[in-house]
Structure 1
């Protein structure tokens, strides 16, 4: 297999030059943001979930330094309430910019979406049957239209298709929209197309969203439609190398945008490509994302296609794809043995409750995963999920856990309460994506990936605050009634990337 890998590596280098979309690395707004290096103080109320059962509410100030091009928390000072007191307590220079959240607002860690399909965004709210039916009816046609002029999506078009223009419109919108929801980090699936996938990475870098970008690998000639697939295992690896090269060229540090190996799911890939992709991920220390145990029909299909493996998760493990850098989406129907295997390998699960409900896939037993030591974060799974909002996903995570607890004899221990779903969308997501200790809170050394939530304006915001609620209750009201209208500003690495 090493000889095959070496051969394809050489082929990948030969096609990279022609696979690059326009390079956004030197866009004016990005250069301006990097030129504005220095320190800022953020003053107001800070709310976070440092543990699954702790809703921490603090008043104070945070000193953020961007001197190295990254917005890192240098120091914190609690129980200060004025700019002058904050400057003194933090030892900042007089004249340091102080960004203040008003009395009805608070700073909250940016949400982390552990599983989202960028090219599916136009299909939000469109469903057909269960997972496998929906893929054929909606998903594959839409995804292929972002790179293939012969896609079924263009069958009735009266004009010449421009897949790259469509990709630019879709990808720009999904990044803007998720930032407006407070999503500062996302693990994106793209398509099989190299230029369109490279474009997604370039746009994420330009707009300032922290992102893992994965070119979706689909080389199984018997399962994937003829109009949307890789031609061979070598073709899949070759194109994956091209996207890796592009992403590492535009962001060599990998601080903001990084590649992630993305075999779509076991039915879409072959034994050979899975082994080659695992070798690539291991050699380059790259993260991996794939689907697992989402739907009963899918689980049955995998068992028929890979009878030599013990389980769906076992297929990935047999090919070297189940590692401590692996994100498995869904995990609805994992057996106890599969859960134990995921935990043993240090892999994580992106819980996608809205999608699981919308496609009739079932209810993920999140408490069982957590109790077994599996890392769990949240995923919108747009467009299997009907919304690209992690806040909406958090709501659904609570609701499906309540249904599960009822089904299991009103076992309250199976519920995932509000504080814990917020933890899963921030700290849990950080651990899931390899950013534990760097994202999800307000401790010194963490990156300033933060959203400012605004409450209290009945005319323009969806959360009704009367004034007598304590802050614990206000946070709960935001979780259940809030949306992007409550997101006033968003920062990623200290850079302001969204403002209402």
Structure 2
């Protein structure tokens, strides 16, 4: 395959790179980028193709309203919960689990139900440009095999975990510690038996998946940590997600211990671990995560509904961070939605911080004390106020795009394979057209919009109608006529 036009990526956090008049060739045998030549005008294109001996490739010429982005990487998604996405947003987390999540997940004991649901899920995600997904499955071994087969057949890059639950769960949606470990190992072995070769670019990776601390005993956590080490596979769970979850953990294990400490002691914090949410991590927790190389999947929409707070992405920028949709805790399967809510949440946090800053300085003035540099023991709001004074809270769409692409790749430790455009990397990409038929984006030629404006319009206004092609590992997995 050979493309000529505009390519856009974010190789660094907050940095947008637009490659114009770029000639990109994909090795159709390996699915990797073989040639990347920016600054080749159309008038020189034919001569360049001849010189670089690329004439055997089929050439696609992008229009002025089209550009190619790295595929989106969703670092937290509950596959079974797609069945009630868009509903179940009316109760706190621990109630929500019993009222919505567990009943939906129980149904996947029926393998035929899994075969019916999962193709719809994967198709929906691909249509929204999600080329890589980190999935929580259900606790059912056979249903998780169906999910694995579905993603492979569709060509999506997937990290999949069999959820483990051995306590504090409904009687008909729980398993013994022994069965949880046995089936997790069986699922790992199943995925490894499917004949994938690393040199060809792995599309399927099994993931050790304790659901979260309230539903997992210490012996289960310890044995899962050992499994992950033995097979050298990633780990995922939830951490310090909501006030009621934190309270439940403290009720179980004591008020002086945090989720982070328990996960660390059981060997589950590694460079290949992705923990979802993290809204209520304290400073020491974040230091531990950074030291272990553990990532956080930020889920702005579900955080708004269930987590009682905002993850302060800029304050904790020393932790690897990606974005997640968290279907169905978050109702939207589109990573564009996660980017938008990330930006909005940062602005709400800034507004709260501004009020805290005024109150903090007012209290200091009343007491005749300068509080501006005193961070010891101050509230989270006061810490946010200090961040605001440094201009460190508000995020923009460029950083959101980074977290949805390159940042997610770093969380999964596949940044040398996907997430940006470089020679040798797999071609996981989406073709965006801001002028496609039926587009939600209005264009006005008299505005003299720049290419960067087109990208920003897509991030803020676009949807799946603007995504016309999706490639994973060089394979065209979605092609829509608009």
Contact 1:377 1:425 in 2 (8 A): yes
Q: Please, which of 319, 338, 344 is the counterpart of residue 399 of structure 1?
A: 344
Any stretches of 5+ residues in structure 2 without a counterpart? Answer: 355-384
- The Cα of 1:358 is off from its aligned counterpart by 2.6
Which has the higher mean CA deviation after the structures are superposed, 432-441 or 479-488? 432-441
**Residues 1:136 and 1:461: Cα distance change in structure 2 (over 3 Å):** same
Give the equivalent residue in structure 2 for 1:438: 417
**1: CA distance between counterparts of 2:170 and 2:223?**
22
Give the equivalent residue in structure 2 for 1:199: 146
**Other structure's SS at 2:315 match:** helix
Give the equivalent residue in structure 1 for 2:428: 449
Cα offsets for 1:294-348 (capped at 9, x unmatched)? 1001001111112297211111001010111100000111101111111111100
Give the equivalent residue in structure 2 for 1:374: 319
**1: CA distance between counterparts of 2:95 and 2:346?**
26
Indicate whether 1:282 and 2:229 are aligned. yes
- The Cα of 1:384 is off from its aligned counterpart by 0.2
**2: CA distance between counterparts of 1:330 and 1:408?**
20
- What does 1:100-179 correspond to in 2, within 5 Å? 100-127=61-88, 128-147=90-109, 163-179=110-126
**2: CA distance between counterparts of 1:171 and 1:301?**
32
Report the aligned-residue RMSD.
1.4
Q: Please, which of 450, 454, 464 is the counterpart of residue 470 of structure 1?
A: 450
Indicate whether 1:355 and 2:333 are aligned. no
- The Cα of 1:275 is off from its aligned counterpart by 0.4
**2: CA distance between counterparts of 1:137 and 1:107?**
41
Q: Please, which of 375, 389, 398 is the counterpart of residue 419 of structure 1?
A: 398
Give the equivalent residue in structure 2 for 1:155: none
- What does 1:28-39 correspond to in 2, within 5 Å? none
Any stretches of 5+ residues in structure 1 without a counterpart? Answer: 1-39, 148-162
Contact 2:159 2:205 in 1 (8 A): yes
Give the equivalent residue in structure 2 for 1:240: 184
Contact 1:351 1:376 in 2 (8 A): yes
**1: CA distance between counterparts of 2:119 and 2:160?**
14
**2: CA distance between counterparts of 1:95 and 1:347?**
44
Give the equivalent residue in structure 2 for 1:318: 265
Contact 1:215 1:262 in 2 (8 A): yes
**2: CA distance between counterparts of 1:179 and 1:65?**
22
**Residues 1:315 and 1:309: Cα distance change in structure 2 (over 3 Å):** farther
Give the equivalent residue in structure 2 for 1:77: 37
- What does 1:171-320 correspond to in 2, within 5 Å? 171-220=118-167, 223-230=168-175, 232-253=176-197, 255-307=202-254, 310-320=257-267
Regions of 4+ moved over 3 Å: none
- What does 1:333-344 correspond to in 2, within 5 Å? 333-344=280-291
Cα offsets for 1:209-240 (capped at 9, x unmatched)? 000010000011xx01111111x211101111
**Other structure's SS at 1:414 match:** coil
Contact 1:77 1:86 in 2 (8 A): no
Give the equivalent residue in structure 1 for 2:57: 96
Which has the higher mean CA deviation after the structures are superposed, 55-64 or 395-404? 55-64
Which has the higher mean CA deviation after the structures are superposed, 233-242 or 208-217? 233-242
Cα offsets for 1:152-177 (capped at 9, x unmatched)? xxxxxxxxxxx222111211111000
Contact 2:297 2:322 in 1 (8 A): yes
Contact 1:130 1:361 in 2 (8 A): no
Cα offsets for 1:346-395 (capped at 9, x unmatched)? 1000000011113353211111210xx20000000010001011111001
TM-score by length of 2: 0.88
Which has the higher mean CA deviation after the structures are superposed, 361-370 or 315-324? 361-370
Give the equivalent residue in structure 2 for 1:389: 334
- The Cα of 1:456 is off from its aligned counterpart by 1.7
Contact 2:315 2:392 in 1 (8 A): no
**Other structure's SS at 1:388 match:** coil
Give the equivalent residue in structure 2 for 1:493: 473
Contact 1:101 1:452 in 2 (8 A): no
**Other structure's SS at 1:96 match:** coil
Cα offsets for 1:88-136 (capped at 9, x unmatched)? 35x1343321123222100000000000001000111222311111100
- The Cα of 1:470 is off from its aligned counterpart by 0.8
Which has the higher mean CA deviation after the structures are superposed, 285-294 or 471-480? 471-480
**Other structure's SS at 1:167 match:** helix
Number of residues of Structure 1 aligned to a counterpart in Structure 2:
437
Contact 1:451 1:490 in 2 (8 A): yes
Which has the higher mean CA deviation after the structures are superposed, 340-349 or 250-259? 250-259
**Other structure's SS at 1:446 match:** coil
**2: CA distance between counterparts of 1:361 and 1:435?**
31
